[in-house]
C-alpha cells in the first residue's frame, strides 16, 4: 500500500508541538552551536566554511522557523533529561527534512525527460522558486550587513536616535562588540559544561548576552546598548499566531533576541541581527509618512554612492562616471546610475532598491514576476536603452559633475543590474524571468546585488580582472546554473569560468565559494589565514604570461585590454605551455641575438596573438610585427589580431599593437598567405622549443609568405 506524503500543514503542526515542548530552548541552542559555529585552532580556511554549505546542517531560515514555532507558547526554560534532549534534536532534523522533501516534491512534480525535451524549465515554476527562495544561501556576509548598514543609514541617524534609541554608528560598534563577547561567552560555556554531570549539559548560557561586557568592549553606555538590543528583541506579548507555515513572515527573523522571564537576553543567531540592522529601518521609516520621502532619497543615494566608490577603487576616478544623462540632440533618452569605460569596453550599472515581497516568497508566480520586473527587468531595460545609443552619431553623455565621457571607441557594452538588498535565489530568477536583448554591441547582463560588487572589488586586484569576470560570466551565463552569484564568483577564483563547448550545463554547488568565504572573513574580520583563494590569482602569477598580464592589467589601452583578456581566458595548461615556450625563446634570443616569434590562434575571440622577441630597432621591429600581424590575421580569417614585442633576456614588453577589421578578400594577401604554415594550437606547444634551421631563402616560418632573409632574419 502506497503511503501518501503528509501535507505541509500536518508537518508544521508537528513542528509547533515539538518546539513548544518543555526545555526546547536548550535544543535550539545546541542546533545553533552545531550548525552555525565554526571552530578553528590556527588559521581559518575554506575547509572550516565547508560545513556552512553542507546539506547535513540546518540553514538559518530553518533554525529561524524552529524559534518562530517555539515562541508560539510561553517558554519552559528547564533542562530536559538526556534522552528527551536527544529526541528533541533528532525530531527537529527529521521534521525539517520532511518539510524540505514536501516542498521539493511540489516544486518538481511536473519534471520528466519528456517535459524537459519539450522545452519545460523546471526551475521557472512558482513552486520551484518558492523552494529556492527559502533554502537559498545568503548572498551577504555578516560583516557586510553590519558595516554597510552604518553607511546606508548615516543620513538617517537623527531619526533613528529619536525614534529607536540608537544611531547607525552605535549599531555597528555594538554588533562588533556583541560578536566578540558572545564568542568568548560561548567558549567559556563549553569549557564549564564539560565539568558538569551530563544530565546538566546545555550550551544555552553561551547565547546569553552580557550587556556589561558588550558596553565595555565598544565603549558605549550600558543604557545605550540596552536601547539598541531592545529594538531587536522579540515581544512575546504579541504572540505569533499568524505564523502558520514555514515561509510565512517570521517575526523572530527581524527581532531575533529572546528575553527570559528574569530579564536576560539571548541571541541564538547573529546573522539575523545584523541583517535586521540593514533591512528593518526602512520599514520603520515607511510608518512615518512625513519622513519616508527623505528616507527613500537617502536610500537611493547610498546605493549609487557605494557602488561608485567601490568601482573607483578598481578602475580609478577617471574611468568611472556617476549619474550620466544620455542626450540625443536636446532630448534626454536615458540615464546611467554608473558608467565604467575601460579600453574598448563599457559597463553600464543600473541600481535598484527593491526587496522580494512576502507573496512572491510564497511562490505566487505572478507576484514573483511582478517583483522581478520592478527590481531587475526595469533596470536592465534602462541599461539597454543607453547601450543602444553608444554606436549612434550625435549622442552626448553628461555626468552630474559636468564631465562628458567619450564612448566613441567602445566595441562592447555590458549591462549590470545591481540590487541594494538581499534578493534570494536572484540568479535563478534572472535565468527564468529576464527578457534580454540580442545585439552585437550588447553583451549578456550580470544580475547581482551590492554585496557581490563589494566582494568582487575586494578580491580582484585590477580593472582587467574585473572585466574578465564580467565578460566570462556573460559569455557562459546560460551554461552556469547557480542560486547564488557568490558560487559563480568562487568558482571563477578557483579556475576561471571558461567552459568547453562540449559541456552544455554546469551546476555549481554553493560549497565552491568556501575558499572565498574564508578569504573575505580573513580580510574583513582580521582573522588569521590566507586572504586570497588559491586559483587564478595565485597559481599563474609567476609564469611568463602571468607577468605579462601584471604589466598591462591597469592599462586602458585597447591593445592591453584585449590581449590581457585573451590571456586570462586561457586554461591553466595552455598558459603554462605558452609561458614555457616564451621563456625558452627569450633566453635563446638573449644568448644568440636571434629573432623568435610565437603565434597562437584565439578562436574563441575571433582573434590571434603574435609575440616577437628581438633586439631590432623600434621602427624595424614594429614594421616586422605589423606585417606579421596583417598576414596572420588574413590567413586566419580573423576579425582581430594582437601583437606584442618583448625584449630578449628580460622578457619585458617593448610595445604592442592591435588590428581590428572585418575580414575582406584581398588578391595580394591571398597570394602571399596561401602557403603560410598552419598555426600551432595550445595543446601542440612543446615545452622544449625546437631549434629551427631555416635557410636564408626559405619561406619565413612566421607565416608572412616572404623569404626568411627579407622578413624575420636578423
Q: Average of pLDDT values for 648-669?
A: 87
> Using N-to-C axis directions, what is the helix angle for 426-433 and 365-372, rounded to 10°?
90
**pLDDT band for position 478 (50/70/90)?**
confident
**Per-residue model confidence (pLDDT) at position 32:** 97
**Per-residue model confidence (pLDDT) at position 454:** 98
165-176 residue pLDDT tens: 999 999 999 999
Is the per-residue pLDDT at 691 higher than 50?
A: no
Query: What values do phi and psi take at 370, rounded to 5?
Result: -65, -45
**pLDDT band for position 688 (50/70/90)?**
very low
**Per-residue model confidence (pLDDT) at position 710:** 66
Q: Look at 20-34, 76-90, 383-397, 670-684 and tell me which has the smallest mean pLDDT.
A: 670-684
Q: Which residues pair with 345 in a beta bridge?
A: 342, 412
Q: Average of pLDDT values for 58-71?
A: 96
**Per-residue model confidence (pLDDT) at position 382:** 96
* Three-class SS of 528-561: CECCCCCCCCCCCCCCHHHHHHHHHCCCCCHHHH
What is the C-alpha separation between 666 and 487, in angstroms, rounded? 48
Is the per-residue pLDDT at 695 higher than 70?
A: no
What is the C-alpha separation between 47 and 50, in angstroms, rounded? 5
Query: What values do phi and psi take at 337, rounded to 5?
Result: -65, -40
**Per-residue model confidence (pLDDT) at position 107:** 85
Which grid coordinates belong to 24?
Answer: 526546547
What is the C-alpha separation between 396 and 326, in angstroms, rounded? 6
> Could you tell me how far CA 223 lies from the centroid of its own chain?
39
Burial call 240-279: b when 16+ CB within 10 Å, e when fewer = beebeebbbebbbbbbbbbbeeeeebbbbbbbbbbbbbbb
**Per-residue model confidence (pLDDT) at position 690:** 43
**Per-residue model confidence (pLDDT) at position 689:** 44
Torsion of CA 189, 190, 194, 200, to 10 degrees: 60
498-548 residue pLDDT tens: 888 788 888 898 999 999 999 999 999 999 999 999 999 998 888 999 999
Is the per-residue pLDDT at 685 higher than 70?
A: no
**Per-residue model confidence (pLDDT) at position 682:** 54
Burial label, 280 (beta-carbon count in 10 A; 0-12, 13-18, 19+): middle
Which grid coordinates belong to 496?
Answer: 576561471
- Just give the CATH number of 298-475: 3.40.1350
Cβ-contact 513, 536 below 8 angstroms: no
Look at 709 and 283; give whichever has higher pLDDT. 283
698-709 residue pLDDT tens: 665 544 556 656
> Using N-to-C axis directions, what is the helix angle for 426-433 and 485-495, rounded to 10°?
100
Cβ-contact 206, 189 below 8 angstroms: yes
Q: How far apart are the first and last CA of the chain?
A: 87
**Percentage of residues in the chain having pLDDT higher than 90:** 66
**pLDDT band for position 117 (50/70/90)?**
low
Burial label, 403 (beta-carbon count in 10 A; 0-12, 13-18, 19+): middle
DSSP label at residue 7: P
Cβ-contact 236, 171 below 8 angstroms: no
What is the C-alpha separation between 288 and 299, in angstroms, rounded? 15
- The CA-based angle 141-147-151, given to 5 degrees, is 130
DSSP label at residue 291: T
Is the per-residue pLDDT at 110 higher than 50?
A: yes
Name the residue ranges covered by the structural domains of the chain.
8-110+120-286, 298-475, 565-710
What is the C-alpha separation between 626 and 272, in angstroms, rounded? 60
Cβ-contact 110, 122 below 8 angstroms: yes
What is the C-alpha separation between 19 and 62, in angstroms, rounded? 12
**Per-residue model confidence (pLDDT) at position 512:** 93
**pLDDT band for position 670 (50/70/90)?**
confident
Q: Which helix (H) or strand (E) holds 414?
A: strand 412-419
Q: Average of pLDDT values for 309-319?
A: 97
Query: What values do phi and psi take at 466, rounded to 5?
Result: -60, -45
Q: What is the mean pLDDT of the chain?
A: 90
**Per-residue model confidence (pLDDT) at position 705:** 56
333-378 residue pLDDT tens: 999 999 999 999 999 999 998 888 889 999 899 999 999 999 999 9
35-59 residue pLDDT tens: 999 988 889 999 999 999 998 999 9
Is the per-residue pLDDT at 686 higher than 70?
A: no
Cβ-contact 358, 335 below 8 angstroms: no
Amino acid at each position: 500500500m502506497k503511503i501518501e506524503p503528509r501535507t505541509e500543514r500536518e508537518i508544521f503542526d508537528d513542528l509547533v508541538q515539538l518546539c513548544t515542548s518543555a526545555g526546547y530552548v536548550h535544543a535550539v541552542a545546541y542546533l545553533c552551536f552545531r550548525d552555525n559555529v565554526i571552530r578553528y585552532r590556527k588559521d581559518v580556511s575554506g575547509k572550516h566554511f565547508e560545513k556552512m554549505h553542507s546539506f547535513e546542517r540546518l540553514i538559518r531560515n530553518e533554525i529561524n522557523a524552529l524559534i518562530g514555532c517555539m515562541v508560539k507558547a510561553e517558554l519552559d526554560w528547564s533542562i530536559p533529561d538526556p534522552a528527551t534532549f536527544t529526541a528533541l534534536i533528532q525530531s527537529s532534523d527529521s521534521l525539517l527534512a520532511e518539510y524540505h522533501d514536501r516542498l521539493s516534491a511540489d516544486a518538481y512534480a511536473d519534471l520528466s525527460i519528456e517535459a524537459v525535451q519539450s522545452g519545460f524549465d523546471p526551475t521557472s515554476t512558482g513552486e520551484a522558486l518558492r523552494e529556492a527562495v527559502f533554502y537559498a544561501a545568503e548572498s551577504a556576509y555578516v560583516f557586510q550587513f553590519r558595516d554597510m548598514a552604518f553607511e546606508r543609514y548615516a543620513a538617517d541617524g537623527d531619526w533613528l536616535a529619536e525614534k529607536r534609541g540608537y544611531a547607525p554608528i552605535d549599531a555597528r560598534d555594538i554588533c562588533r562588540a556583541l560578536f566578540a563577547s558572545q564568542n568568548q561567552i560561548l567558549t567559556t560555556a563549553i569549557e564549564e559544561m564539560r565539568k558538569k554531570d551530563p544530565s546538566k549539559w546545555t550550551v544555552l548560557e553561551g547565547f546569553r548576552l552580557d550587556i556589561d561586557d558588550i558596553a565595555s568592549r565598544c565603549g558605549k553606555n550600558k543604557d545605550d546598548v540596552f536601547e539598541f538590543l531592545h529594538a531587536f528583541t522579540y515581544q512575546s506579548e504579541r504572540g505569533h499566531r499568524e505564523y502558520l507555515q514555514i515561509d510565512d513572515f517570521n517575526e523572530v527573523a527581524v527581532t531575533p533576541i529572546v528575553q527570559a522571564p528574569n530579564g536576560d537576553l539571548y541571541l541564538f543567531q547573529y546573522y539575523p541581527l545584523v541583517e535586521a540592522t540593514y533591512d528593518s529601518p526602512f520599514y520603520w521609516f515607511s510608518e512615518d509618512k512625513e519622513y519616508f520621502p527623505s528616507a527613500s532619497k537617502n536610500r537611493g543615494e547610498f546605493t549609487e554612492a557605494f557602488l561608485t566608490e567601490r568601482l573607483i577603487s578598481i578602475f580609478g576616478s577617471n574611468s568611472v562616471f556617476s549619474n550620466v544623462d544620455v542626450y540625443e540632440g536636446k532630448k534626454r533618452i536615458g540615464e546611467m546610475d554608473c558608467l565604467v569605460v575601460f579600453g574598448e569596453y563599457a559597463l553600464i550599472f543600473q541600481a535598484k532598491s527593491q526587496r522580494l515581497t512576502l507573496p512572491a516568497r510564497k511562490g505566487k508566480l505572478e507576484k514573483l514576476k511582478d517583483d522581478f520586473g520592478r527590481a531587475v527587468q526595469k533596470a536592465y531595460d534602462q541599461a539597454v536603452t543607453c547601450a543602444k545609443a553608444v554606436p549612434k552619431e550625435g549622442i552626448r553623455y553628461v555626468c552630474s559633475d559636468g564631465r562628458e565621457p567619450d564612448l566613441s571607441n567602445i566595441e562592447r557594452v555590458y549591462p549590470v543590474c545591481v540590487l541594494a538588498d538581499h534578493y534570494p535565489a536572484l540568479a535563478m530568477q534572472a535565468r527564468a524571468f529576464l527578457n534580454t536583448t540580442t545585439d552585437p554591441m550588447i553583451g549578456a547582463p550580470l544580475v547581482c546585488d551590492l554585496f557581490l560588487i563589494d566582494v568582487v572589488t575586494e578580491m580582484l586586484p585590477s580593472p582587467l580582472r574585473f572585466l574578465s569576470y564580467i565578460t566570462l560570466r556573460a559569455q557562459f551565463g546560460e551554461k552556469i546554473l547557480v542560486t547564488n552569484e557568490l558560487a559563480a564568483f568562487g568558482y571563477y577564483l578557483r579556475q576561471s569560468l571558461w567552459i568547453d563547448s562540449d559541456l552544455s550545463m554546469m551546476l555549481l554547488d554553493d560549497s565552491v565559494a568556501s575558499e572565498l568565504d574564508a578569504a573575505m572573513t580573513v580580510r574583513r574580520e582580521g582573522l588569521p589565514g590566507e586572504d586570497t583563494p588559491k586559483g587564478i590569482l595565485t597559481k599563474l602569477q609567476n609564469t611568463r604570461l602571468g607577468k605579462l598580464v601584471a604589466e598591462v592589467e591597469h592599462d586602458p589601452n585597447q591593445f592591453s585590454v584585449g590581449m590581457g583578456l585573451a590571456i586570462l581566458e586561457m586554461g591553466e595548461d595552455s598558459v603554462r605551455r605558452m609561458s614555457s615556450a616564451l621563456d625558452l625563446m627569450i633566453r635563446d634570443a638573449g644568448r644568440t641575438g636571434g629573432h623568435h616569434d610565437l603565434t597562437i590562434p584565439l578562436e574563441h575571440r575571433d582573434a590571434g596573438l603574435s609575440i616577437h622577441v628581438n633586439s631590432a630597432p623600434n621602427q624595424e621591429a614594429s614594421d616586422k610585427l605589423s606585417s606579421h600581424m596583417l598576414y596572420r590575421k588574413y590567413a586566419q580569417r580573423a576579425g582581430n589580431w594582437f601583437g606584442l614585442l618583448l625584449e630578449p633576456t628580460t622578457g619585458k614588453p617593448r610595445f604592442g599593437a592591435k588590428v581590428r577589421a572585418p575580414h575582406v578578400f584581398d588578391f595580394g594577401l591571398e597570394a602571399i598567405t596561401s602557403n603560410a604554415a598552419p598555426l600551432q594550437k595550445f595543446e601542440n606547444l612543446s615545452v622544449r622549443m625546437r631549434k629551427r634551421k631555416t635557410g636564408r631563402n626559405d619561406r619565413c616560418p612566421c607565416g608572412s609568405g616572404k623569404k626568411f632573409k627579407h622578413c624575420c632574419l636578423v
